[in-house]
Amino acid sequence: MALSKTARLDRGLLTRAALDAGRKLNPRCLLANPVILVTEGVAALATLSAAGQITAGEPAGFALQIAGWLWATVLFANFAESIAEGRGKAAADSLRASRVTTRAKVITDDQIIFTPAHELQPGMVVLVEAGDLIPADGEIVEGIASVNEAAITGESAPVIRESGGDRSAVTGGTTVVSDWLRVRVTAAAGSSFLDRMIALVEGAGRRKTPNELALAVLLAGLSLIFLIAVVTLLGLGRYSGVAIPLVVLGALFVTLIPTTIGGLLSAVGIAGMNRLLKFNVLALSGRAVEAAGDIDTLLLDKTGTITFGNRMASEVIPLRGIAADTALRAALMSSLGDETPEGRSIVSFAEGQGISAVRPDGAITIPFSAQTRLSGLEAGPTVWRKGAVDAVLKQLGITERDTPRDFAAAVDRIARSGGTPLAVSENDRLIGVIHLKDVIKPGVKERFQDLRRMGVRTVMITGDNSVTAAAIASEAGVDDFLAEATPEDKLRLMRAEQAKGRLVAMCGDGANDAPALAQADVGVAMQSGTQAAREAANLIDLDSDPTKLIEIVEVGKQMLITRGALTTFSIANDVAKYFAIVPALFVGALPALGALNVMQLASPQSAILSAVIFNALIIVALIPLALKGVRYRPVGAARLLSRNLLVYGLGGLVAPFIGIKLIDLLVSTLGII
Amino acid sequence: MDLRGWAEIALTLGLSVGVAWPLGLYMARIWAGETTWLTPVLNPVERGIYRVLGVRPEQSQGWKGYSFSVIAFSVAGFVLLYALLRLQGFLPLNPAGFGNLDPHLAFNVAVSFVTNTNWQSYGGETTMSLLSQMAGLAVQNFTSAAAGLAIAAAAARAFAGDREVGLGNFWVDLVRITLYVLLPLSIVVALALVATGVPQTLHAAVTVTGLEGAQQTLALGPVASQEAIKQIGTNGGGFFNANSAHPFENPNPLSNLIEAVSITALGFATFIAFGRMARARKEAASLVIVAFLLVAAAAVAIYGLENQTVPGLLKAGVEAGQNLEGKEYRFGTAASALWSALTTGASNGSVNAMHESFMPLSGGIQMFLIQLGEILPGGVGSGLYGMLVMALLAVFVAGLMVGRTPEYLGKKVEAAEIQYAMLAVLILPLAILGFSALAAVLPAALSSLLTDGPHGLSEILYAYSSAGGNNGSAFAGLTAATPWWDTTLGIAMLLGRFGYIVPVMAILGSLAAKPRLAPTAGTLPASGRLFSGLLLGVILVLGGLQFFPALALGPLAEHFQLLASLRP
């Protein structure tokens, strides 16, 4: 199951969201959203007031319409939240389908007992054989097997899991494809990874993130201020001979309080989590996603993140008197027996240079082994070898002092540039040097530039010596590096950064990464990593792609930007609403205030109704933005702010003037009022 | 509008910021406890005071301890002043033989001076004994200003610190600011005023025979010293009822210039001192610029409005050229318009012209400047922390828009800060609109109004704005010395002062405890044109949204009625 596929809007989702919006009218569902709760209260009051008018035999058309649109405001806000939740629920449903009700083979002292999976306790050891579902999250204590983790990651190619090392964690609900494992259960039923994932995706038990909380406080405070402004109008109005009907007062209040952001706030949060899911990243808390947007320093492991995991051949240097093709051919032939990634990279490099990889008939392979550290090929009288420089020299019986000068120079140059030299020989003489180097992943440099513009400093961490590290760091364009790093160094560096008041993110997979992951403000564990790492992290990357951190940072920023933009828009809108409603309220008693009716709205009633309708419709209009998020561009804070202020601040000032005017035209031409 | 008027406005505004700069740098040194050229003289006095008070100067207080000290000090000041006013008839230095004050008036006056409002429900020369003026009101003029400045110092420490608990010692701040800043400064200004002809004497009055042969009693007293601290401490309570329109308080354009500059000098200086101490000079400069721009724009707008023939006269065919009603001819429209903007922007409250007699929109602008929260540059100290609250709110909304948890001067702005900031911001509409709405319908309140219609509402709104904003100026046209007005205005002053100080202190406590983060390319810069524009927008929109309906019923309605009445 690929999570991203479920995140599309379809009719079923919309229907479900619409029904849900109605269900959420229950005030208890709105407790977490005071602005909308208050709106509902006002809607109820307006309805009562309209009912009172009807029973008194007065015309109640206006009051009824206002009440109707106030209810619509609440429904639209609920609908926004339901749509966002609906996407998550759809994802959760397909996850739930993969939850297992299997029987586990629990290993006791001398026998195997079949136990239902939901009765497993942490600490029990179970046997899982080919074809079995893994019954619970756990750590492999013995064995090696290939496991299909498609249920979690959506990736159907099986992965290797083995005891010890960094690939020892298994997840309940995944399937053992070959071999067998003994697994110590680490999570009780109900608290497994899958369970947590379902709960998270569904948004159940979603807690407000710190910024969301602060924003909610701001919105509540603004609502209180407007409550004061509106209620005191009763007294000030009476002095001025203005009688304000309750319905109108309620309408004014609702249009002023920030219903737009209030209605969309939780949708923005849920949508942000869903966006992460699209990237196949699972956030264990919303807080972590938000913190990702705040990151100042990114610690990145070199291997796998900045460079491909393996060194690759980048050139073959022929020694004096040797044709380039001869050296290339020797390198290729000698590497046919080397199935390591390095060996394969030599073959494909030579092929790329136009050398044919056809094996001579009857050739005998000298396979690569960790002992000999070389490989080769015997084709009749010719023997080609390639391997670590000292290994090849030893094989040929040459001491280092006797090597040709250009050979020594090439080896030296390669080593100094941070690469690894390999010697190539034909029969009993050296003919060339292969340059193996860490190849920087394409596009990495640009991403680091983006990060720098975002204000994020990148630090590369590597076990290489500082010469190699410096070469790679400058090529990749990271801001700093830590060479010959041990896990303790990593932790120390992180603490030092944090002491400077910086927020640090890192990703890791190994068990020895766990302390640093726990110390990091944002820790991303690879799904393929160890249980310890996964426990310590607050984000899990299901694709096990360390560069994901960059996307995570962007999603975190996007969430904050969207909230800020909608808040700014919401507050800016109020200016126009005042110019619609205030003259309408007072023009009866103080005709001179008609001058404030800058929009030339048709009548006081149509002005008020238009403002209320605009206030409701703008929520619907902004749902797509809330779900998609405001686009984030890594251009630096000042430019980003000026752009967003222009669009959402100035736009927020202007848009309602136009919108309310248009609605008023419609309302008055249709004769609704 | 003539060149002389513009030049006068430009000179005064320029001088107020120009004087503030060195003053601010000097004050930062006082806050930081550094030695200055006054130290050899004043240090023994300072030490002596600590010994008498039992203060251990090196002991830093947390936000709760600091707030408690501020409040305890204010309560003590209130009790002393209230007792003095209630008993002044029995006490010495009462040459004119004034009686004791009524309880509601004494309450109002005591609150008024303790809160740095200096709203005057009384006529100074006809109510207050010299002892009350000097030992009561003048003392509070110093201490209420010093208390405000002390909190500003605490604010600077909160931002400067990195994971600190202490905000400094209130008693030390109070003593040092009084001794090293307010006293020397008021002596300098008082002497300058004496040089321009402002009286300074212990004689209560002189009797003179006028040109027409009639006997006239002219009230006198230690006017210059009162006047100096009244302006630099943003107090605003005049020695005479006519305040700085009175020829003894403000005899000529030169004294007017000195006083006008003194109104905002220490306010702006507070911003600059903050910038130096919190290591945020550029950011503080932005705050100065925002306050300056708003108050300058208001001065220009009011001058423009006043420098036209009153529409009524125009209709009658009279071309007067300017609105001189309620203004002193020796100052003219420019100096009066500018003063009215400075005094309302700075929470000062002294007047050199009657605000009620300005054009309706001018009155609206004056009111609005107070309603913006007295931050332009506001009362000494209080203007800074009011402006910081605005900056925190601006940074919060805008900071989200750059995709980071908002931070201001390296301190993260989170739920706790926003919660207290909103609490503080709530106080002003509550005090102003709440009491105004009550007063607008209660007969007991309405009987004090001299006018009805929108202008009457303006009088009510102005009074509560002035009280809530701790400004102290009066719109005039309202008989405020009644139990209702004395009491409710007093409550509004208390709310405006302490209802604001306590949440602000909580914010400072929370900020001080946070690490000070280093800025990165992703951090929203809190200086420069973009930020200044943003802060300006937030101040105007937030203020406008709170008070627009009320202003529409008062000054705006009056303005449009006036325009409508001119139409044939």
A362-376 per-position pLDDT tens digit: 888 888 877 788 899
- Token pair belonging to A202: 């569904």
* pLDDT one-digit tens code per residue, A289-298: 888 888 888 8
* pLDDT one-digit tens code per residue, A71-116: 999 999 999 999 888 877 777 777 677 665 677 888 887 788 888 8
Instruction: Find out whether A223 and A258 touch, Cβ atoms under 8 Å.
Output: yes
Please indicate whether, in this complex, the C-beta atoms of A235 and B437 are within 8 angstroms of each other. yes
Helix or strand holding residue A444 (H, E): helix A444-454
Round to whole Å and give the CA distance between B367 and B373. Answer: 11
Give residue A2's pLDDT band: very low, low, confident or very high (50, 70, 90): very low
Whole-angstrom CA distances from A280 to A89, A159, A274, A542, A624 are 16, 17, 9, 5, 21
Instruction: Find out whether A546 and A305 touch, Cβ atoms under 8 Å.
Output: yes
Residue A121 pLDDT: 85
* pLDDT one-digit tens code per residue, B387-399: 999 999 999 988 8
Range list of H helices, A240-293 = 246-256, 259-278, 286-293
Residue A619 pLDDT: 96
CB atoms near residue A396 (< 10 Å):
16
Domain extent for B396: 3-566
Q: Mark B248-278 as b/e (b = at least 16 C-beta within 10 Å).
A: bbbbeeebbbbbbbbbbbbbbbbbbbbbbbb
How many domains, in total, are found in chain B?
1
* pLDDT one-digit tens code per residue, B219-248: 888 899 989 999 999 999 888 888 999 999
Residue B514 pLDDT: 92
Please indicate whether, in this complex, the C-beta atoms of A590 and B557 are within 8 angstroms of each other. yes
How far out from the chain centre does Cα B352 lie?
15
Is pLDDT at A217 greater than 70 in this prediction?
A: yes
Q: Which of A430-444, B130-144, B306-320: highest mean pLDDT?
A: B130-144
Indicate the domain borders of chain A.
3-90+201-277+554-574+581-597+616-669, 103-134+137-186, 285-306+441-542, 311-439
* pLDDT one-digit tens code per residue, B523-541: 888 999 999 999 999 999 9
* pLDDT one-digit tens code per residue, B329-358: 999 999 999 999 999 999 999 999 999 999
Q: Which of A12-21, A483-492, A606-615: highest mean pLDDT?
A: A606-615
Is pLDDT at A7 greater than 50 in this prediction?
A: no
Q: Which of A301, A438, A513, A664 is catalytic?
A: A301
Round to whole Å and give the CA distance between A609 and A401. Answer: 95
Looking at chain A from residue 158 to 217, which residues have their Cβ under 8 Å from any Cβ of chain B? 210-211, 213-215, 217
Write down the CATH number for the domain with range A311-439: 3.40.1110.10
CB atoms near residue A402 (< 10 Å):
11
Tell me the CA end-to-end span of chain B in Å, nearest whole number. 27
CB-based contact, A449 to chain B, within 8 Å: no
Residue A211 pLDDT: 87
Measured between CA atoms, the residue of chain B closest to residue A653 is B541
Measured between CA atoms, the residue of chain A closest to residue B519 is A455
Round to whole Å and give the CA distance between A280 and B408. Answer: 34
CB-based contact, A275 to chain B, within 8 Å: no
Share of chain A above pLDDT 90, in %: 33
How far out from the chain centre does Cα A385 lie?
47
Chain B nearest C-alpha distance from A75 (Å): 26
Round to whole Å and give the CA distance between A432 and A406. Answer: 9
Residue A1 pLDDT: 37
DSSP annotation of B517 = P
Helix or strand holding residue A579 (H, E): helix A548-586
Q: Average pLDDT of chain B?
A: 93
Write down the CATH number for the domain with range A103-134+137-186: 2.70.150.10
Quick check: is A301 catalytic? yes
User: Which among B403, B441, B537 has the least Cβ separation from residue A632?
Assistant: B403
Q: What is the mean pLDDT of residues A620-641?
A: 89
Round to whole Å and give the CA distance between A541 and A283. Answer: 9
Please indicate whether, in this complex, the C-beta atoms of B430 and A502 are within 8 angstroms of each other. no
* pLDDT one-digit tens code per residue, B51-86: 999 999 999 999 999 999 999 999 999 999 999 999
Share of chain A above pLDDT 70, in %: 93
Share of chain B above pLDDT 90, in %: 77
Is pLDDT at A660 greater than 80 in this prediction?
A: yes
Round to whole Å and give the CA distance between B387 and B239. Answer: 30
Cis previous bond, A656, omega within 30: no
Instruction: Give the start-end residues of each E strand in A13-73.
Output: none
Please indicate whether, in this complex, the C-beta atoms of B525 and A638 are within 8 angstroms of each other. yes
A103-134+137-186 and A311-439 share one CATH topology? no
Task: Write down the ipTM of this complex.
Answer: 0.94
Residue B46 pLDDT: 95
Q: Please, which residues bridge with residue A106 across strands?
A: A113, A126
Of the CA atoms within 13 Å of residue A501, those in its CB half-sphere come to 16
CB-based contact, A74 to chain B, within 8 Å: no
- Least trusted range by pLDDT, from A440-449, A568-577, B225-234: A440-449
Round to whole Å and give the CA distance between B131 and B135. Answer: 5
User: Which among A217, A571, A574 has the least Cβ separation from residue B418?
Assistant: A217
- C-alpha R_g of chain B: 23
Chain A nearest C-alpha distance from B403 (Å): 4
In the CATH hierarchy, which fold is given to the domain comprising A285-306+441-542?
Answer: Rossmann fold (3.40.50)
CB atoms near residue B519 (< 10 Å):
16
Instruction: Give the start-end residues of each E strand in A342-474.
Output: 364-366, 374-379, 382-388, 420-426, 429-440, 457-461
* pLDDT one-digit tens code per residue, A580-613: 999 999 998 999 999 999 999 999 999 999 999 9
DSSP annotation of A476 = H
